[in-house]
Each structure stands twice: as structure tokens, then as C-alpha cells.
Chain A
Amino acid sequence: MELLKVVNLKKVFPKTKEPAVNGVDFSILKGEVLGLVGESGCGKSTLAKCMLRLINAQEGNILYKDRDLLKILPKDMHRMRKDLQIIFQDPYTSLDPRMRIGDILEEVFIIHHSFLRGRRKVKVIEILEMVGLGETYLKRLPSELSGGERQRVGIARSLATDPEFIICDEPISSLDISVQAQILNLLMDLQKRKNLTYLFISHDLGVIASICDRVIVMQAGNFVERGLCEDIFRKPKHDYTKNLLKSSSLLS
């Protein structure tokens, strides 16, 4: 079943001529892990933010449950955010520096009326534990965490709404291999248990290869290749993909 369908999505930033996202089409199936790869600056984060209307696209449709996300009212979009989440690439700017970690997470529950007050605290600790942090982090400010700890708070915050779709924008880039593995295992467990759907953006082809069903390869705002993960990694067609694979250790 198709969960989300993107049609002719286009974004041109002011001051620039070439579109950052140049009229792309794709759909994501329910329960699928779709990978998005491409060199730095090719438009991955822009595409992600347009999909959830965090920035405005100029053209296109994003169909989700018979509605066009780009056309619905802001207050309806706000409600959708519970189901459609994003883990931001930059944890530093996405966490309010004045709020304590416990409050950042509890606020998510309050906004989405998720639990009664008494349950909230327990749930906050539970979700911190899931990302390998825990009760001792409740009272800390974002500036009092290491880079990888901040990134995991970002992940916890996205999981807190119990979404059905998550855009993961370089979600594990600041995590060491062992914590990376814990987080990937967690994301894959949730995917199996709750049939979650992910759009997974990463520059790490090893990770993409190990978790994705399908992959899209992006270059300068366009999709240049897409297909099943096995096919793309075994027999890349486009020169750009070949280069990408060649410079990583996967083919060597």
C-alpha cells in the first residue's frame, strides 16, 4: 500500500537560479525503508523539509491519506505532525537551548495530548532509555550534552509522538559505531513491530545497504537513479552512482 506519494515537487531558493529540488516524483510504501543518497548539497534536506512543509515548495503535491499536504490548512498540518515526523540533521539548532531535556520531551506529549500528567514523566524516562540515555539526563540543558547525546535526544523527540512515518535526515551521523548499531536496531525493531515507514537519508552507504528496501540517488536536485537496494548496489547504472560506490569501501 502506498503511504505517501510525492508529485513534481519543486523548490527554488531566492537568489538562486537552479532549483534545489527540481520537480521530483516518488512514492513510499507502508512499512518500507526508502533510502535517499547523494552528494552534499544535492537537495536531500530541502526535499525532506518540503515534504513536511517546514519550508514552502513552489510546486507539487504530497498525497497522504487522500489529502494533499501542501494544500491543507496549517492547523490540519499541525495535527498531521504527530504522524509524520522528522529527525533533523543538525541536533544543535533543533533543540531549544533554554529547555531541559525532560521538558523538551514532555512538551511533545503535552502538545499532542498523548498521556495524562502522571504518566508523562514515566514515558519520558522510557523514551530516553530507548535511545540509550536515561533518567540522569532529565534535568540537563542541550548544551550540557555531548554531540551524540544531543542527536539521540532529537531521535527520542521524534519517536515520542508515536508516528507512522519518520524522515531520518542523517540521524546517526554523530554516533559511534556501537551506539549507531543500538539506534539502528531500535529503528528496525519499531519498523517491524509497528510497521513504521522511513525515508532514510544518509551519506553512509554501508548503513543504507544494510537497512533499506529501495534507494533513490539524487544529484543536483534531480533523481538520477532508483531501484531495489540489491540492484543499485550490485549493478549501478548511472555514472554518478558508480562513482559514489567506487569511493566507498563497499565495492573494494
Chain B
Amino acid sequence: MVLEIKGLRVRYGVGEVVRGLDLEIAKGECVGLVGESGCGKTTVGLSITRLIPERKGTISSGRILLEGQDLLTLDHESLRKVRGKKVSYVFQEPSSSLNPVFTIYEQLKEALPGRGATDDDAVISDLLKSVGLAKIAGKKNIYPHELSGGMQQRVMIAMAIVPRPDLLVLDEPTTALDVTVQNQILDLIMELKNKIGLSVLFISHDLRTIFRLADRVAVMYAGRIIEEGPRKRIVAQPGHPYTVGLIDSIPSFEHRKKRFDAIEGRAPLFSDLPQGCKFHPRCKFKIDKCVHAEPELEELSDGHVSRCIRAKGLIANGAIKGS
């Protein structure tokens, strides 16, 4: 395994927002992490190289192994070497991580592994073209604010793949991109995955992109994984009422001018989590037992697990099914 996260718990002022999470990523594998706004996805990504802002939050327990090495016990110097080199990030908001006072060219050059080579310019230019930015490929005087939102996002992606990391953490990397460019980026990542065995943690709220790229999908709810499995299994037969709700809410032309089918209700507050299954207040299949104890992950089929005590029964009687 390239990455093993074991029993991760993270606490902010509002409460514990990652409540015991396990996740593994193999070499050359892409794991998609999907879930509702605020459920803790970014926090999981940041925890990997301990990027949680120190005065705001703490990793209270767990282990994070990168190729066997525990990153949570590493000293700061060694950790710095891991960041950006072995693990690189595309953060959710590109403007927050591009440096406004340096040109795009300067920032890409800085990220190059063997800096100072004579072909740096050609490498940078090719890189920009590969993310669909031929328009600025030969230009050295462009600053981040002179780019559109989607262009900034693509510069971030270029910068993250340049050091040839072992693990790439993509946090909502294509949110501002239209399908054409989105597909181009997804193809690029797929190619790196197949060619150099890049491992990817793909965080997104967008099931459509997750379903395109991920080998395995992990669905997160209120700080824990509630379903995980091979993508194909989950598409064919989701194993948790929440996942079914997510799939059903994908808008399409058929929904025209009708109300959107949102999952009723809203995600619970971390300061006030319900007893039992955290999804039960919104679940139409709730029974008394759901209210008492939070279910463990239960295996539905090989490598496919769900944190729903009714999953097997609901699947058997056709109450929850794929689309």
C-alpha cells in the first residue's frame, strides 16, 4: 500500500469532525472520496501531511503510513521533504495557494524537480499545454490574478504533478471546469496513473467525475466512511441509503423546472450528532434499531462494505438499487 490511514480522528473547536477513519490506497490506484459539504473530506486530505492549522485543530489519534512510514510521528524537517515531493496537493481553492507576487512561470519553475536544466522552459510549456493552457504556454509574465478561476485551477494541477509525487491529493480539482476541459484533466491523471503508477486520492462532491476516474469509491458522512467499494460495484448496487440519495440527486435535462430531488433534511452538526446511525434522521428506511447504536462497517460483497444494518435486506428486496 502507498497510503494507509488507520483510525484517524481529528478535532476542531466545533467537535470531532473525523471520527475514526480507515482508508487505503494502493500503487497506481485512484480512490474517490465523496460526501456532503462539511462532512470532513478536506480535513482527511490535509491530515495526511499534517496540514491542519495548528491552533485550530488537532489530530487526536490514528496512524498515517506512507509506504510504511508513519507521517504522524515524523519530525518537521522530514515531513517537509514529504510534502510537495512524495505527496502533492491540489487544494480546493486555487487562489488561496497560488502566490500572488510571483508569475505562473516562476512558480512552475520552482516546482520542477531538477531545476536549472536548459530545457526547463520547454518542460513548463509542455506541461501547461497538457492542462489545456496553450494560451499562456510561452508567456513568462502572467500573474495568478490575470487568470480565470478554471485557469488557476489547472495551473495548480500542473504544479502538483510536476514533482512526480507518489501520492497526489486532489481536492475538488475540476469544480470550475466545463466538461471538455474536465475530461482532458481526468485523462491526464489517468495517464499518469497508468504510466508512472501515480496513486490518487480524489476528493470530490461530484459523483460523475468520481465515477469516471476512481477505481474505488469511499462515501463519507458526518466524519466517517459509510460505504466503500469498487466503483463498479457501487454504481451497479449502492449499499447505503445515503449513497442512493446522492446518485438520485444528479440533475439532468429531465428535471427541467421541477424541484430538485435533494435528500431531505440536512447534515447533522458536529457539535450535536444524533445517537446511533448518523444518517437515521434523514433516512426513509429507519427502524428503531438504527437509533440506538452506530453500525459497524459490514461486508456486502468482496471489498464492498456498508455502515447500514439494513443494507443486505434492502438490497435483497430491491428497495435500494443502482441507476
Chain A positions within 8 Å of B, measured between CB atoms, are 13, 15, 37-41, 44-46, 89-93, 132, 134, 136, 143-149, 152, 170, 173-182, 184-185, 188, 203-207, 209-211, 229, 233, 243-244, 247-250
Contact = CB atoms under 8 A, between A and B. Distances in A.
Contacts of B115: none
B199 interface: no
B252 interface: yes
Contacts of B95: 90, 92-93
Given A45-B149, A181-B251, A147 B42 contact: yes
> Interface residues of B toward A: which range?
35 or more
Interface string B133-152: 00100000100001111110
A127 B257 CA distance: 24
A52 to B, nearest CB: 17
B35 A173 contact: no
A175 B257 contact: no
B266 A210 contact: no
Interface in B267-291: 269, 271
A210 B254 CA distance: 8
B300 interface: no
A177 B250 contact: yes
B116 interface: no
Contacts of B176: 40, 89, 170, 173, 203
Nearest to B40: A146
Contact of A136 (B151, B250, B266, B269): B269
Contacts of A209: 251-253, 256
A36 B100 CA distance: 28
Contacts of B37: 146-149, 152, 174-176, 179
B201 to A, nearest CB: 16
B56 A39 contact: no
B179 A178 contact: no
B301 interface: no
Interface of B: 12-14, 34-38, 41-42, 53, 56, 92-93, 95-96, 132, 135, 141, 146-151, 154, 171-172, 175-183, 205-208, 245-246, 249-253, 255-263, 266, 269, 271
Contacts of A134: 269
A46 B35 CA distance: 32
B104 to A, nearest CB: 13
Nearest to B269: A136
A173 B249 CA distance: 15
A30 B96 CA distance: 36
B35 A210 contact: no
B231 to A, nearest CB: 16
Contacts of B92: 147, 174
Contact of A175 (B14, B132, B205): B205
Given A15-B141, A40-B151, A181-B261, A173 B175 contact: yes
Contacts of B38: 145-146, 148-149
Contacts of B96: 92-93
A37 B178 contact: yes
9 contacts: A15-B146, A136-B271, A148-B205, A174-B175, A177-B206, A179-B266, A180-B260, A205-B179, A249-B208
